[in-house]
Structure 1
């Protein structure tokens, strides 16, 4: 199989990444519904719908704002349609987090709501990253040229770090780690916080393997967002450090 993988069905070239994105949303939601049915959810169904709506709106705007900031010069040189379509999961996650917190403030919900979404989010990201990997250099999820043994030709004849593949391995490990963490150690809300800190920490590191061109203080826009996320959860980090001592 060649990468980019562009199957043709009935004479039409299939956008495999787009199909897997839709599949990620569908299966992620079905997994969430399954977990919700099995759990003792203390949040009212009506409030849960407002929270999901807040997450969706926040994720929509966050993904596109951070996607624009990742390549602002390129984005401004293209059409409005391009600006609408450019997006990144990192902005979606952090924007979704802010959207949830704002919606909870509005409806007066005090309970932590993220734990139930954590594993479905990981599943959705995993499926989406398969699409990124199969799309190769057509998506900006590829790495720099490398002589590392895992270097792959992603469509331009050069051996590059397959960052999407690295992320798939990380997500598998994180999924089972958090699933175990959930059943043994987690208090309400901790599971989602550990996921965010772990995933944003991983993304901060692999950004050094990415051929970024736009930097602020020597860091990419994604890395600055990762630091912002860590600062957002600084109380939880301090609490975890004190517990570790």
Structure 2
């Protein structure tokens, strides 16, 4: 997570050269992500440990990217309202977030945290510090986020779904994380489900709601990507002639 924050800071600092208000927007996202990461971890882990299984210090000090995504989103939107910034910023976060997750999961792999469930020996399995064969959960999540970052960066360059790419990522990652959670070694609430799957559904649902809200607020209900490409042609001819004579 620290790697992701570092990457986002570097990219945002480059953008603040054009608009200093973006620094305040990034700060709001940072505070929201840190708070959301801690709150999300407590909500995901605490219900499964009510029986007194211990690990309270771990719960209080833990973090989850699911909470960070929600908290960061709310932090950015709150900061934008405070400073009066009206432009969309989610498209940049759409590939900053998965890049940060790739780096973060590599750290998880090296440190042995966030492991997969024990499994039979196979070419894809990894050994933990105790010699237990496990599903390569950090590797799988890194690959997913690497592909997501590449695809979203491509869509951003092509101006496809402008202003919607982070919502797309929230939906995709939420669905992926819900399914992948069955293979991760995390505390279970019952029926094989974990608290992280509840958070994953919240992330996917939140992304879907915000996607539909922004889609409905667009001038037309056609393809947002096409709207952004052909919108100059919708300007009145008199405005175009004035622009030409003024040059």
Deviation at 1:160, TM superposition (A): 0.6
Q: Which moved more, 1:61-70 or 1:111-120?
A: 111-120
Q: Structure 2 residue aligned with 1:126, among 96, 102, 122?
A: 102
What displacement does 1:163 show?
0.4
- Deviation at 1:83? 4.3
Counterpart for residue 77 of structure 1: 54
Give the distance between the partners of 2:55 and 2:133, measured in 1 at CA: 29
Please identify the structure whose Cα radius of gyration is greater: 2
TM-score (ref. length: structure 2): 0.73
Alignment of 1:22-37 (within 5 A): 22-34=2-14, 36=15
5 Å-filtered alignment, 1:127-142, equals: 127-136=103-112, 139=113, 141-142=114-115
1:200 aligns with 2:178: no
Q: Deviations over 1:151-201 (max 9, x none)?
A: 111222221101001111112211211111112242432121122222222
Matched, 1:54 2:28: yes
CA distance in 2, matches of 1:37, 1:102: 18
Query: Residue by residue, what CA displacement relative to the aligned partner does 1:6-42 show, whole Å, maximum 9, x if unpaired?
Result: xxxxxxxxxxxxxxx54543344223434x279xx7x
Unaligned stretches of 5+ residues in structure 1: 1-20
Which residue pairs with 2:227 in the alignment?
A: none
* Partner Cα separation in structure 2 for residue 78 and residue 154 of structure 1: 20
Normalization by structure 1: what TM-score? 0.74
Unaligned runs of 5+ in 2: 224-247
RMSD of aligned alpha carbons: 3.0
How many equivalent pairs are there? Answer: 213
Partner residue of 1:93 out of 54, 69, 73: 69
Whether 1:164 and 2:141 are equivalent positions in the alignment is no
